[in-house]
Amino acid sequence: MPAVRLSRLRKDNPTRDWISEVLLRPKDLIQPYFVVGGKRIDRPVRSLPGVSHLSIDKLLKDMDGARKRGIKSVLLFGIPGTKDKIGAEAYKKNGIVQKAVKEIKKNFKDIIVITDVCLCGYTAHGHCGIFKERGTGGGRQGYIIDNDKTLKALTKIALSHAASGADLVAPSAMMDGQVRSIREGLDKNAFENTGILAYSAKYASNFYGPFREASDSGPQFGDRKGYQMDPRNSNQALREIREDIKEGADIVMVKPALSYLDIIYRAKEKFNVPVAAYNVSGEYTMVEGYIDSISHPIPQGYGPRTKSGILVRGGAGSAERMELRKNIVLEILTGIKRAGADFIITYWAKEAAKWLRL
């Protein structure tokens, strides 16, 4: 007979809930939004099922619903009407993100507003920095990114967001020194209380495809391997995180989440700052696609089946199928938190918050 029966602490739901080590809460989740100009716009993003481009009026309505479910923070991405080679629209006083932040702050006093600070969605070439006209590299012969000139642009963007009322700015361009430049700029302009959530370990991942369509930010040539992290490296990620903390980051981020749970774990173990993780678009669409196309046997109670036990394809609206989807999503988000993430940016935030409150 076994001397130790660990299954005693797994015998029923009350016991399992009582001893659980990880508690996923709605306030841990950050809802990303893609904001566009105009009114009454709710335009579904083809590559991201369940996600839309929203005009500010629709954004406010959606945020009100998210807030009622317990979501405490949002991350804004702007979809500009015009682009140029330096991304000047990104730091205009009346740009789409700047307008959205002002309206959010007018309507919701208890929502933490985080704004993405980058150039890729605003430049005609889709890269995260401003190009020099000479040299080689940067993904296209004859062009290299001017890191230091880009820092000035990123700082201007951050200042415009802070002036609009953003609680935190989130530099995602992966330029060397971006956190220091932004922190100094904020402090010099009396925005010392505006925080920085740094995309510190942002990998050159293949899981960004649907997001790039949603944000209209895909590079028109080359790739971003010259400035984003190499997926083969982990120690360099810790160096990036360490430098960002030294430069003034209040929160650091690992992106993507699922393929880099080890980086989340190491960051949380090594550094005494909050860690955010981005559950990115490719991770999201893998699950959505899986749920929509299941055609193999699954456990009893998880969906309509043929007599042979094969799940009926295309029954995405069935309660059983949605229950399976819910369980998968919560397992993923719990795993990211278990790895060490304090906050999780996820397109499932609103839905997960609803499930967690039931």
Catalytic residue numbers read 202, 255
> Where do the DSSP E strands lie in the chain?
29-36, 42-44, 52-55, 73-79, 112-117, 168-171, 195-202, 251-255, 275-279, 343-346
Asked if omega into 256 is within 30° of 0 (cis), the reply is yes
Name the residue among 203, 96, 92, 196 with its Cα closest to residue 153.
92
Give yes or no for a contact between 348 and 339, defined as CB atoms under 8 angstroms apart: no
Name the residue among 138, 124, 42, 142 with its Cα closest to residue 84.
124
CA gap 4, 283 in Å, rounded: 38
**Token pair for 159:** 């200042």
DSSP letter for 143, please: B
**Token pair for 32:** 């990303």
CA gap 207, 75 in Å, rounded: 19
Reduced to 3 states (helix: H, G, I; strand: E, B; else coil), residue 6 is helix
How many residues does this entry show for the chain?
358
If you search the block for the tokens 């208890």, which residue do you land on?
A: 110
**Token pair for 153:** 């642009």
DSSP letter for 84, please: B
Give yes or no for a contact between 59 and 100, defined as CB atoms under 8 angstroms apart: yes
Q: Calculate the CA dihedral of residues 336, 339, 344, 348 and round it to 10 degrees.
A: 10
